[in-house]
Structure 1
């Protein structure tokens, strides 16, 4: 029998709860994919260069020096939906 994996979905409102504050994990979304940045030292306390976890960074990442090159190293935790 084939195992079925259910992907977690997040609305922007739900994603906002994952801001890396008060023990919450730090998640970000890029191009509809939600990533866990909790273990990245660059995202200490859910903040990175003035940006706060719990948000969609699809546009902002285009202006980052690393662009999307860091994304493959991050655990995917779900999908952002409207």
Structure 2
């Protein structure tokens, strides 16, 4: 993963399904492309919005973090 691009929170925020065509979310420091997911259409998944870090919000989700294994890691968040 050393060649994985790094993105800022501002760059992630633009991939919210509204400002740019990509729909990205961050979890545990990794950024996932969820653009093709039917559950993330228009950048919203239930009460969660794309373009942000969802690490804390996963606690309230009815699924585990294994759901992220379905999606491609496209980068990591710059801390």
TM-score normalized by the length of structure 1: 0.86
Please give the residue correspondences for 1:1-82 in structure 2 after superposition, counting only pairs within 5 Å: 6-82=3-79
The answer to whether the 8 A contact 1:17-1:24 is kept is no
Structure index of larger Rg: 1
RMSD: 1.4
Matched positions, count: 78
Per the TM alignment, residue 62 of structure 1 is displaced from its structure 2 partner at its CA by: 2.0
Q: Which runs of 5+ in 2 are unaligned?
A: none
Q: Secondary structure at the match of 1:43?
A: helix
Q: Which runs of 5+ in 1 are unaligned?
A: none
Runs (4 or more) in structure 1 with deviation over 6 Å come to: none
